Amino acid sequence: MAGIKTKRIIISGGGTGGHIFPAIAIANALKRLAPDTELLFVGAEGKMEMDKVPAAGYEIIGLDIQGINRKSFWKNLILPFKLYKSIRKARQILHDFKPDVAVGVGGYASGPLLHTAVQMGIPCLIQEQNSYAGITNKRLGAKVDKICVAFEGMDRFFPKSKILLTGNPIRRESVDIRNKRFEAAELLSLSPHKKTILLTGGSLGARTLNTCMRDGLDRLAAADVQLIWQCGGYYYDELREALGNGHEGVKLTAFLHRMDLAYAAADVIIARAGAGTIAELCAVGKPAILVPSPNVAEDHQTKNAMALVDKDAALMVSDMEAPQKLVDTALALLDDEKRIKVLRANIGKLAIWDADEIIAREVLKLAGE
């Protein structure tokens, strides 16, 4: 329509798949709702988003920024200089692109970009994926216009008047599992008639989960249970060599490019408790055993997991207890049809399918203002 100004939206954040995939999902939703929208991403140089975002068809600019290194004091000495440099670059990006709204999804790059956008009077929205707010978003919460959250009770961290409960965006193609069990079994070289566990440690893999599965393979074989094992690229060669050719019914892979097939084939899912993973598990409605990573800020994965456990929607095994309990817990759950039925029903109630479009509409509202 003549006279309608094209909206320009900048989206910042990243560092992990848990930040990148929601950001891309929001961008895709914006393009569906307002196809003329111009989008620009800002990420951290050297991080996953610098590859994943262009692969999704969007332009991205990198900031030379890093997070706090909790293992080395000396590596943090350069952080103030990088922060100053990133804020200067963020100001230039915002000046050149002239966005109507800046969106932050958490991660290293969102801090400098959103901080600068607020100072420049640009309307800002942040999306907090976890049940325990990250340090960047907590600092931005009082300054931005809208805060989209995935869990209840987030007024502990943010002004209540700014909060909107939206859920976390999900990769829709990854959770479309309808009528795919037999297709999945064929493509994964598994039997559709045998009980199957899916273990996923996220895009980078998880050492504890991999160790538990390697040590429990004989018990899985004895129970005639199949395993789809996404181990991460870092661990793949070592595990491939350790397995050899002696484990029928085990599908080992560094990365699952078709999560929909893995979810469709699974009877029980074992996973870390990242917010994006939990959102997908709710959407697929399968019984899950969550093993929160201990290597995250504020132990937020345990808090994410407990949000489901408290609703009897998932089981949780701590990272410390996993070597002794994880495989036995999974086998016991596979044999407990009554428990499986309860978990399936309760986790399915928590699914929010259109979080990406709910958030995108809020972004467009801010752009309209």
Please state whether beta strands 250-253 and 196-200 pair in parallel, antiparallel, or not at all (unpaired): unpaired
Is the pLDDT at 67 greater than 90? The verdict is no
Residue with more model confidence, 188 or 205: 188
The verdict on whether residue 240 carries a ligand-binding annotation is: no
pLDDT score recorded for residue 81: 83
For the entire predicted model, the pTM comes to: 0.84
Fold topology of 173-348 = Rossmann fold (3.40.50)
The verdict on whether residue 16 carries a ligand-binding annotation is: yes
Is the pLDDT at 51 greater than 50? The verdict is yes
Helices (H), the chain: 17-33, 49-55, 79-97, 110-119, 135-140, 172-175, 181-187, 207-222, 233-243, 259-265, 275-284, 300-309, 322-334, 337-348, 355-368
Where in the chain are the domains?
A: 8-169+353-368, 173-348
Helix (H) or strand (E) holding 271, with range, is strand 268-271
The verdict on whether residue 18 carries a ligand-binding annotation is: yes
Is the pLDDT at 211 greater than 80? The verdict is yes
The mean pLDDT of the chain is: 91
Is the pLDDT at 2 greater than 50? The verdict is no
pLDDT band with cut points at 50, 70 and 90 for residue 171 = confident
The verdict on whether residue 17 carries a ligand-binding annotation is: yes
pLDDT band with cut points at 50, 70 and 90 for residue 327 = very high
Residue with more model confidence, 210 or 47: 210
The rounded distance, in Å, linking the Cα atoms of 273 and 129 is: 12
Please give the share of the chain, as a percent, with pLDDT higher than 70.
93
| 67-76, 141-150, 216-225, range with the lowest pLDDT | 67-76
The verdict on whether residue 304 carries a ligand-binding annotation is: no
DSSP 182-216: HHHHHHTT--TTS-EEEEE--TT--HHHHHHHHHH
The rounded distance, in Å, linking the Cα atoms of 255 and 236 is: 9
Is the pLDDT at 289 greater than 80? The verdict is yes
Residue with more model confidence, 83 or 140: 140
Is the pLDDT at 259 greater than 70? The verdict is yes
Q: Which residue, among 269, 251, 282, has the nearest Cα to 334 in the 3D structure?
A: 269
Is the pLDDT at 3 greater than 60? The verdict is no
Q: Which residue, among 353, 350, 340, has the nearest Cα to 197 in the 3D structure?
A: 340
The verdict on whether residue 171 carries a ligand-binding annotation is: yes
Condensed to tens digits (0 to 9), the pLDDT of residues 214-248 reads 999 999 999 999 999 999 988 999 999 888 776 78
pLDDT band with cut points at 50, 70 and 90 for residue 152 = confident
Asked whether the domain spanning 173-348 has the same topology as the one spanning 8-169+353-368, the reply is: yes
Mean pLDDT over 189-215 rounds to: 91
CATH number for domain 8-169+353-368, candidates 1.10.760.10, 3.40.50.2000, 2.40.170.20, 3.30.200.20: 3.40.50.2000
Mean pLDDT over 196-221 rounds to: 90
